[in-house]
Every structure is written in C-alpha cells, then in structure tokens.
Amino acid sequence: MDVSRSNAEAVRATLQGDSQACETLVCRYFGMVHAIGYARLLDAQAAEDLSQEVFLRAYLHLDQIRPKTLPAWLSRVARNLACDWLRESRRCSR
C-alpha cells in the first residue's frame, strides 16, 4: 500500500488493474465508510457488510467518479445505502 499516492494516481492505477492501488483507496477510506455505517445501523457486522457493498459499488463505477470527489461520493453512497437498508429492514443489498 502506497499512502503517498494521490487519489487521482490511485484511481488511475486501479483502473489499469493495480490491486495495490485499489487497496490504498480502501485503506484510506474504510474507516470513514464503516463509521457512517455504524452510526446509522448501530450494528458492527451490518456496518462491515455496508462497507463492503460501498467499495464494491465504487470499484464498479470507478471510471465515472472524479478522484477529487471520491471521499464525498463514498460518504453519500454509505449514507444512502444505510438509509435504504433501514427503510426496507434489510442488512444487505440484493
């Protein structure tokens, strides 16, 4: 994991198949995403599941996310997904 890498560099490298760059992004923002999930769901395991779902969605849409806005995008997806799970009384996406 290269913590000196900027988001733009890590995103670009991830899109080119560099798994370590992807790991850099996950490690950089996992705490934030997990904290949002835990604050909303009040369940550590559900927050873990939510975090995995958020990062899966980020990976699938990484080519559409501007690196500068990645933290805000992750935060918004985490909040919205947690609200969806609470509203539908689910702990995971379909």
Summarize pLDDT for 34-63 with one digit per residue, the tens: 999 999 999 999 999 999 999 999 999 999
Does the pTM of the predicted model rise above 0.85?
A: yes
The alpha helices in the chain, defined as continuous H runs, are 7-15, 19-41, 44-60, 70-87
Quick one: pLDDT at residue 5?
A: 82
- The 10s digit of each residue's pLDDT in 15-35 is 999 999 999 999 999 999 999
Task: Tell me the CA distances in angstroms from 78 to 1, 2, 15, 54, one per residue in order.
Answer: 23, 24, 22, 6
Quick one: pLDDT at residue 38?
A: 97
pLDDT over threshold 90, residue 93: no
